[in-house]
Amino acid sequence: MTTLTLHATGPLAPAEAWERYAEPARWPTWAPQITGVQVPEPRLRAGLEGRVRGPLGLVLPFVVESVDEVARRWAWTVSAGPVRLHLVHWVSDGPDGGSTTGLRIRGPLPVVLGYAPLAQLAISRLVQPLD
């Protein structure tokens, strides 16, 4: 197992960046590797289970492990057969306004390294205004 931490800073207000996380239906608007999300509720909460759709019809189950709305922090585990990725996301005030988001990915080294470029692109888009 390995752990990798990524960061991105942009002009979007922290409250708005958090809302893009907190409402799973919005994930495809900023995360290009996500083409859809199936969840029984419109907002993240600990214990929420769902499925995320990716390219080529890939569907992966996930479980939200924790959500802290005040700290703007949440964690989830995504599964692909026996492979599990544990992801922790957070949003904070940016150094010059806007917001900074972070993502810690924990899982098998080849999977973490393969996913990292997509994850970096996604979190960079998260903190930018949508076109």
52 in a structural domain: yes
Sign of CA dihedral 28, 32, 38, 40: negative
111 in a structural domain: yes
pLDDT in single tens digits along all 131 residues of the chain: 999 999 999 999 999 999 999 999 999 999 999 999 999 999 999 999 999 999 888 999 999 999 999 999 999 999 999 999 999 999 999 998 999 999 999 999 999 999 999 999 999 999 999 86
Contact 32, 123 (CB under 8 A): no
Spatial CB neighbours of 80, under 8 Å, sequence gap ≥ 6: 60, 111
Domain containing residue 16: CATH number: 3.30.530.20
64 in a structural domain: yes
Number of domains in the chain: 1
pLDDT value of position 56: 86
Give the structural domain span for 88.
Answer: 2-126
131 in a structural domain: no
